[in-house]
Structure formats: C-alpha cells, structure tokens
C-alpha cells in the first residue's frame, strides 16, 4: 500500500492539505476541535503551536479560536530544514530528567 504523498508542507499529506484548503474557504475562525478533527494533529500539538505563535488565535468567552488565515498560511509554508525539531520537542530535550 502506498503512503500518502507529502506536499510541500511538512504538516499534512498532499491530499489532506488540499481538502483542508478547500474547507477553509470562507471561514474566519475555527474551534480547536475542528482543526484537530480535520488535520489529524493532536489537541496538544495544536495548543503548542498556538502558544508558540505558529498558529494565530484569539480567546473569546473562554473559547480559543484559530484564525483560518493563520492555518492557511501554516499549510502553505515550506517544510522546515531537515534535522530541525518542533519547539515542543526541543523543550522536552532541554528539560533535565528527574531522578
């Protein structure tokens, strides 16, 4: 069985990325749950991306909403250079292990 071909974005396979971009048309904001369901990324990954500033968002009445334009930009961004880690992986490596 063939693996889904990666697009120029390291975030999603090409077919899922095109589906996401179509789904984003006309959307202004998205709930975290919607992004998790559509992308297949974990909720913690989405929150880490928001906290790191990689995914622009706003909090309205206690609900975090992700700007569709920010997600669209993230999907169209070229993949990071090989050998680089996501920020949450760097943080985990930098934290001293407990005895």
pLDDT of residue 95: 53
Full-model pTM: 0.64
Best CATH choice for the domain 14-76 from the list 2.60.40, 3.30.300, 2.60.410, 1.10.10: 1.10.10
CA 44, distance to chain mean position in Å, is 10
CB 11 within 8 A of CB 74: yes
The predicted structure's pLDDT at residue 6: 43
pLDDT for 13: 76
* Block mean pLDDT (10 aa), the chain, length 99: 46 77 86 90 92 92 93 80 59 53
| Closest alpha carbon to 70 in 99, 31, 28 | 28
């Amino acid at each position: 069985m063939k693996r889904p071909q990666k697009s120029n974005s390291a975030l999603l396979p090409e077919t899922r990325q095109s589906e996401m971009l179509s789904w984003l048309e006309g959307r202004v904001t998205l709930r975290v749950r919607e992004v998790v369901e559509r992308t297949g990324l974990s909720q913690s990954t989405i929150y880490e991306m928001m906290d790191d500033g990689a995914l622009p968002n706003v909090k309205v009445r206690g609900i975090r909403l992700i700007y569709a334009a920010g997600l669209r930009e993230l999907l169209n961004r070229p993949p990071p250079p090989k050998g680089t880690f996501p920020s949450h992986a760097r943080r985990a490596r930098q934290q001293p292990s407990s005895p």
